[in-house]
Amino acid sequence: MATPRVFIVRHGETEWSLNGRHTGTTELPLTANGEKRVKATGQALVGEDRLIVPSQLAHIYVSPRKRAQRTFELLNLGCREKLPWQEQPQSENEQHVRTDAKVQVTDDIREWDYGDYEGLTSATIREQRKKSGEGPWDIWRDGCPGGEYVD
């Protein structure tokens, strides 16, 4: 029996990730370059002779964010089952099926909710906090007003 492994894949490049804006709940598409880079990553890492072997995958968890779902699609794992967010199976042709893994969309791995800080850069957040008399921002200590805090 093979040793169980976990792979964590973040979404590809968006306009906000390019300029350092915090992106949580806002639905942003991948950039053209982001899509190109995800495809190249999939070609390099996914295959029967690669790091991620589709036939060995048992379960796949995907964020509810469209950018994460699109990233998953572009990795081209060749799922037998219809992806939860699609009308048609990703692989209509049996020879393109490379995995029987169950794909599940779950909030448990969704992006952080930045609340009032959504769409702002860290520099802007620090500047706003300084003007309001608050100390330096540490997301793990301070959380995000109107969004999430570490429990």
Task: Please answer whether residues 147 and 114 qualify as being in contact, where contact means their C-beta atoms are separated by less than 8 angstroms.
Answer: yes
CB atoms inside a 10 Å sphere around CB 83: 18
**Closest to 132 (Cα-Cα) out of 116, 110, 119:** 116
CB atoms inside a 10 Å sphere around CB 31: 16
Task: Please answer whether residues 10 and 109 qualify as being in contact, where contact means their C-beta atoms are separated by less than 8 angstroms.
Answer: no
Catalytic residue check, 96: no
Cα separation of 19 and 46, whole Å?
A: 29
Catalytic residue check, 22: no
**Which one of 13, 73, 111, 118 is the catalytic residue?**
111
CB atoms inside a 10 Å sphere around CB 63: 20
**Which one of 11, 13, 22, 118 is the catalytic residue?**
11
Q: Which residues are catalytic?
A: 11, 111
